[in-house]
Amino acid sequence: MRLLSSVLVLCCLLLLSSCEKMPATQLQQIKAQEVIRIGTLVGPATFYQGIGGEQGFEYELAEQFASELGVELQMVPFFSLKKLFERLQSGDLDMAAAGLSYHPQRAAHFRFGPSYREISQKLVFKQGNTRPRNFAQLTGPVTVLADSHHVISLQLAQKQYPELSWQTVDDRDQEELLQGIIDGDIQYTVVDSHSLALFRRYHPNVSIAFSITQADPVSWVLRNENDDSLYALLPPFFAKMQQSQQLAALEEKYFGHVRRFNYVNTLAFVEASKTTLPKYQDWFMQYAEQHQLDWRLLAALSYQESMWNPRAKSPTGVRGIMMLTQRTAKQVGVTHRLKPEQNIRGGARYLRKLINRIPKQIGAPDRTWFALAAYNVGWGHVNDARKLTMRQGGSPTSWAEVKKRLPLLTKKRYYRETKYGYARGDVAVTYVDNIRRYYDALIWLDENGALQVNTDSEQPAQ
């Protein structure tokens, strides 16, 4: 009996000793350090430093994942894919969240998580040059980022087009390559669809020649090793994000307003921001500050309404640079709607009133988008769409959800059950999307020193 007990004790000691020598899993290490290190690429489609701090689609998604783990997020930005992959492979990062698309060649070296969105690859050139319809019609090399999926796509295309040539760069990011197209330094490049859509908000002269791929699945990337501890958490996390509509809300926040692109409209806006906006910029800044608004938002709203034309009129009776109705003008103290300073002052006051009217449970930036929709179609109709959203199982506090239901107010089977009835909700959705694009463009132009205040601002008529 004593011998059996001694053997059992010895086995337990050996088991404990072997357990102590077993290395901690990746998840255990993250939990112990209370921080997860996620690498990303710097850019408007992934991660950037905004006025309110760190922002970006991948950043917010990673922040949510870190919150689920109960650890701190440390986002590590990179300007080079090569360096990002090197740091991931070395174990210095836990994973990469950088809008990376899956391909079997990449999967041989790294482990891809579940796909959470799709993108396509576009070959682009400068507007005004001859448009190539396929690789055979290229008149020069393609410049792409080193170690990108674009290189893989070109390698595959070269099997069909042996004359295809390209050069890779590691000292520029995607936006710099696109800027190279504008400047004429680069003839062609390949860009992901979402990055291109964001760039063309303020640079419409980049044109699409043709699509190279149609639906590349995008995933987070981990080291290719036998440790499943962290990887196993990704499928349920993304399933939860999809089911709760949080993923859709993020998609709407960063990309929902850039799906439509109109070359002529965007070119006209960029030109007007340099020639017409300076006449009124002081007033936009003055009255936006007075009502705690971003002046660039107020200016974007004005451009959507009147294209910054102080004498604009519509058949329905709205007038001026902010296109105020007679009733609204009276409410906000405007006595002469065709005087631009008065109209801007009244528009700023009215927008602030609308924002203040939005229910407190609706957070930023959605409350701003709701207010803009109300500026166009009226709060009563917007609230009808919110109630319709709730009846259909969506969240009435989410712009992404209500945006889907606003167009239903044009259909009798839906609007007959609402308080305010028929409304052009589809127009309101386009209206908000347009303003958001103009707003984004003004932010970029302003922060890059492309906007100048005209000290000889137009004075209101006496």
Interior angle at CA 95, CA 30 and CA 235, nearest 5: 90
Contact 405, 162 (CB under 8 A): no
Cα separation, 191 vs 161, whole angstroms: 20
Alpha helices in 278-378 (DSSP H): 281-290, 295-306, 326-331, 340-357, 366-377
Long-range contacts of 354-362 (CB under 8 A, 24+ apart): 354/379, 359/397, 361/397, 362/397
49: which 2 tokens?
């430093």
433: which 2 tokens?
């999307």
Element (H, E) at 380: helix 379-391
* DSSP-assigned letters across all residues of 196-209: HHHHTTT-TTEEEE
Cα separation, 94 vs 108, whole angstroms: 18
Phi/psi class of residue 24: alpha, beta or left (left: φ > 0; alpha: ψ in -120 to 50)? beta
Distances (CA, A) of 182 to 155, 269, 444: 26, 17, 16
317 Cβ neighbours under 8 A, 6+ residues apart: 325, 326
Contact 274, 331 (CB under 8 A): no
Please compute, for residue 385, the number of CA atoms within 13 A of its CA located in the half-sphere on the CB side.
Answer: 30
Count the Cβ atoms, other than its own, within 10 Å of residue 133: 8
Contact 125, 134 (CB under 8 A): no
Cα separation, 254 vs 257, whole angstroms: 8
Q: Checking DSSP bridges between strand 95-101 and strand 216-223, what pairing results, if any? A: antiparallel
The candidate with the shortest Cα–Cα distance to 447, out of 231, 294, 249, 334, is 294
Cα separation, 338 vs 81, whole angstroms: 53
Cα separation, 348 vs 354, whole angstroms: 10
Cα separation, 388 vs 406, whole angstroms: 9
369: which 2 tokens?
């988008």
Contact 318, 376 (CB under 8 A): no
Q: Checking DSSP bridges between strand 121-126 and strand 206-211, what pairing results, if any? A: antiparallel
Which residues participate in catalysis according to the annotation?
A: 305
